[in-house]
Amino acid sequence: MMSASTPSPLRVAIIGAGQVADKVHASYYATRSDVQMVAVMDSRLEQAQAFAQRHAIPSAWQDVHDMLRAVKADVVSVCSPNRFHVDHVLAALAAGCHVMCEKPPAMTPQQADQMRIAARRTGKVLAYDFHHRFARDTQLLREAVLKGTFGEIYFTTAQALRRCGVPGWGVFTNKSLQGGGPLIDIGIHMLDAAMYVLGFPAVKRVTAHSFQKLGNRKNCGQFGEWDPAQFTVEDALFGTIEFCNGGVLRLDTSFVLNIREQSIMNVSFCGEKAGATLFPAHIYNDEGGILRTITQREEADDQRHLRSMEAFVRHVMGEPVMIADAEQGWVIQQLVAALYEAAEKGESVTLC
């Protein structure tokens, strides 16, 4: 149901014409007849022009303010490198647009807070693309938590690990443009999924250890090549988050780590009455020593990224659907910062 105040079609502008804008944002918007992509901007004009041509977008820009002034968009997708999220989100909100911003929200909690406050002040929707929470698997586990299937969950493990998966494109190995390595890039996804299923419990204390052992020595992997001399981020981080309710969350994340698997992106939850694995959703316990499956999905939902985009558009159109909102984005950014701080100082960081 479209809200009376929602323009139709929704006019969308895209900032940052890279791979996620291409494969996810523009690809999704193109499936909707009630959405029209009107402009794309990239700091490399030829990149914006090629993108515009590929997606039949009528205008390509190199300056974000010129674009926002000229095209009068209703919605902006921010798909630029992390360092620019804050400026692009604030500019889009100030121009009166609803915003879908790629993860991570920003580089620092202070920036995510500014973005949160700006969204509240302008009354516009600000959503972050933490898409794993939109998987049917994640929804199923969240419902089970609310139904009390697990009892108290006191141990959670979140893993975002790759055996040789340093991104060879973009700026993912550059700390000043990215804010960090696997934690802020992929660990943050499993952290959000875990926090979402747990219902965002308050955090008491954080400890962490980070390493740079392989990314600055190797120069190629499954996602291309990089310059080890320019590898300025951590290549692995192992952290523990203690909740005020007594529960503990372990987070292990790495771009390159000598593990058996090629990649692990998963979360498991251990409660008093049952436990669960997220992808694919599987809930289990035992009865009198007999191992029992309570619920199991055959395969993990591979449409979660499109579901995240769909939730955003429907939310903008006035439907009461869940989004990864500016408040939760700020909390996740605080946890990322606390994990980095704890690893850097070699001591725990207390949050409440």
Ligand X SMILES: NC(=O)c1ccc[n+]([C@@H]2O[C@H](COP(=O)([O-])OP(=O)(O)OC[C@H]3O[C@@H](n4cnc5c(N)ncnc54)[C@H](O)[C@@H]3O)[C@@H](O)[C@H]2O)c1
Nearer of residues 103 and 307 to ligand X, judged by Cβ: 103
User: Out of 11, 13, 40, 47, which residue is the one contacting ligand X (CB under 6 A)?
Assistant: 47
Structure-block tokens of residue 12: 């969308």
Among 76, 79, 208, 237, binds ligand X (CB under 6 A): 79
Q: Which two tokens stand for residue 225?
A: 């090549």
According to CB under 6 A, which residues from 248 to 267 bind ligand X? none
| Single-letter amino acid, residue 349 | V
Nearer CB in complex with ligand X: 42/235: 42
Q: What is the nearest approach in angstroms of ligand X to the Cβ of residue 203?
A: 23
**What are the strands, taking DSSP E only, across the chain?**
10-15, 35-41, 60-61, 75-78, 98-101, 126-128, 153-162, 203-211, 220-221, 224-225, 236-243, 248-254, 263-271, 275-277, 282-287, 290-296, 349-350
Minimum CB distance to ligand X, residue 23 (Å): 8
Interacting residue with ligand X among 12, 14, 15, 267 (CB under 6 A): 15
Q: Quote the crossing angle between the two packed helices 109-122 and 326-345, to the nearest 10°.
A: 170
- In the bound state, the residue with its beta carbon closest to ligand X is 18
Compute how many other C-beta atoms are within 10 angstroms of the C-beta atom of residue 350.
12
Provide, rounded to whole angstroms, the least separation between the CB of residue 18 and ligand X: 2
Q: Does 170 bind ligand X (CB under 6 A)?
A: yes
For position 129 contacting ligand X by CB under 6 A, the verdict is: yes
Nearest approach in angstroms of CB 47 to ligand X is 5
Three-state secondary structure call for residue 248: strand
- Site membership for ligand X, residue 116 (CB under 6 A): no
- Asked if residues 241 and 267 have their Cβ atoms less than 8 Å apart, the reply is no
Only segment of 37-45, 190-198, 230-238, 336-344 that touches ligand X (CB under 6 A): 37-45
